[in-house]
């Protein structure tokens, strides 16, 4: 009998076509945000779950899943929405989709760097609100990227892909990670063995680190005070790496000149202070929103499901 798979959100057509070819899919047809209770209820009639990053799976939800559920795959690189220890205790295999997002997210980080440096958000607002008075020598004067020091916190696949793109703009690449990269991956990037050292040189600073107890809300007033005056920060990683109140205060005071943000704590209900803050360039979590990326994410999530049903380890196994 064909295995039954619950997919909690609508996926790109190619991924859904493959899923429907291989499984009996229980589909969230109207793409609403399913509650934990709804997922648990539907799990009673399926053999595996394919969830997304908006589906929170803390221990109490994992422990309420039907006993027969042993396969959980997430359509995301991030997995902080899943309690892995609780999953292990229940014998549930968990996998993610780690590779599809790399190029797409690095492109968005580069776009945020450019948009922040050249005040793109303010310029577009001026056009759309019909308030552009015409060209003037001092209108929306930003700064160039060439020759500037870009600090990258988190030099994994996305961080390295961003570095590659930033080199095309003649930026000087600096980075910090818990392990120094191989020379062939550094490609001349300057390693800092502490985050404080990286912050001290970062005229531009890109957050590409995972959300962990050690990194959560690390970007606060204390971190900001270690940066050059008027630095620019961009975040395409996780919203909870930034203490919003401290970033907003630094942007209002001019301690930081600009921020480009694609992720937010509590999204979509973001800190109210961002809405009227002109020196921000804000996106609604677009990092992986390229069809090539989303297709690959769907395929990788399904690869995990296929392997688990075949009695094998998931290729992108987390637990």
- Clarify whether residues 95 and 107 are in a common domain: no
Q: Could you tell me if residue 317 is inside a domain?
A: no
Window from 1-5, 10-14, 36-40, 106-110 with minimum mean pLDDT: 1-5
* Nearest-angstrom CA–CA distance, 149 and 171: 6
- Clarify whether residues 60 and 165 are in a common domain: no
Tell me the HSE value of 310 on the side-chain side, using a 13 A CA sphere: 11
- Clarify whether residues 65 and 136 are in a common domain: no
Q: Could you tell me if residue 154 is inside a domain?
A: yes
Residues 242-247: what's their mean pLDDT? Answer: 98
- Clarify whether residues 79 and 164 are in a common domain: no
- Clarify whether residues 30 and 92 are in a common domain: yes
Domain count across the chain: 2
- Clarify whether residues 304 and 170 are in a common domain: no
What proportion of the chain, given as a percentage, has pLDDT over 90? 99
Residue whose pair of structure tokens reads 């990670």 in the numeric block: 177
Q: What is the CATH number of the domain that holds 170?
A: 3.40.50.720
Cis peptide before 268 (omega within 30 of 0): yes
Give the model confidence (pLDDT) of 90-126 as tens digits. 999 999 999 999 999 999 999 999 999 999 999 999 9
Contact 113, 170 (CB under 8 A): no
Q: Could you tell me if residue 319 is inside a domain?
A: no
- Clarify whether residues 158 and 253 are in a common domain: yes
Quick one: residue 11, left, alpha or beta (phi over 0 = left, psi -120 to 50 = alpha)?
beta
Nearest Cα to 150, choosing from 118, 122, 121, 117?
A: 117
Report pLDDT for 26.
97
Q: Could you tell me if residue 182 is inside a domain?
A: yes
pLDDT above 90: residue 1: no
- Clarify whether residues 300 and 275 are in a common domain: no
- Clarify whether residues 213 and 269 are in a common domain: yes
Residue whose pair of structure tokens reads 């798979």 in the numeric block: 5
**Residue 137 token pair:** 């020598």
Give the Cβ contact number of residue 230 at 10 Å.
Answer: 12
pTM: 0.93
Give the model confidence (pLDDT) of 59-87 as tens digits. 999 999 999 999 999 999 999 999 999 99
- Clarify whether residues 194 and 254 are in a common domain: yes
Residues with catalytic function:
238, 267, 285
Report pLDDT for 218.
98
- Clarify whether residues 88 and 120 are in a common domain: no
**Residue 243 token pair:** 């203490």
Using DSSP, state whether 209 is helix, strand or coil: coil
Give the model confidence (pLDDT) of 188-234 as tens digits. 999 999 999 999 999 999 999 999 999 999 999 999 999 999 999 99
Report pLDDT for 255.
98
Look up the domain containing 20 and give its range. Answer: 4-100+291-309
Residues 3-32: what's their mean pLDDT? Answer: 97
What is the C-alpha radius of gyration for the chain, rounded to an integer number of angstroms? 21
């Amino acid at each position: 009998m064909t295995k039954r798979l619950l997919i909690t959100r609508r996926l790109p057509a190619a991924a859904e076509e493959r899923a429907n070819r291989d499984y009996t899919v229980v589909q969230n047809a109207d793409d609403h945000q399913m509650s934990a209770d709804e997922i648990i209820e539907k799990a009673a009639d399926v053999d595996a779950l394919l969830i997304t990053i908006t589906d929170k799976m803390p221990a109490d939800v994992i422990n309420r899943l039907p006993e027969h559920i042993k396969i959980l795959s997430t359509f995301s690189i991030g997995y902080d929405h899943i309690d892995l220890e609780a999953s292990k205790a229940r014998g549930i295999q968990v996998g993610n989709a780690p590779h599809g997002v790399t190029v797409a997210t690095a492109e968005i980080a580069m776009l945020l760097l450019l948009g922040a440096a050249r005040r793109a958000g303010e310029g577009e607002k001026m056009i759309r609100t019909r308030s552009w008075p015409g060209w003037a020598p001092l209108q929306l004067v930003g700064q160039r990227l060439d020759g500037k020091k870009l600090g990258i916190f988190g030099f994994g696949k996305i961080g390295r892909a961003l570095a590659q793109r930033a080199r095309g703009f003649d930026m000087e690449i600096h980075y910090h990670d818990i392990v120094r990269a191989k020379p062939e991956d550094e490609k001349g990037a300057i390693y800092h063995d502490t985050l404080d050292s990286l912050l001290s040189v970062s005229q531009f600073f890109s957050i590409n680190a995972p959300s962990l107890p050690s990194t959560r809300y690390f970007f606060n007033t204390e971190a900001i005070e270690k940066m050059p005056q008027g630095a620019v920060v961009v975040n395409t990683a996780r919203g909870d790496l930034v203490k919003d109140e401290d970033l907003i205060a630094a942007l209002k005071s001019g301690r930081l000149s600009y921020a480009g943000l694609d992720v937010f704590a509590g999204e979509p209900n973001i800190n109210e202070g961002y809405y009227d803050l002109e020196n921000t360039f804000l996106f609604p979590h677009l990092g992986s929103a390229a069809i090539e990326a989303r297709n690959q994410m769907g395929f990788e999530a399904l690869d995990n499901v296929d392997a688990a049903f075949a009695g094998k380890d998931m290729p992108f196994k987390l637990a």
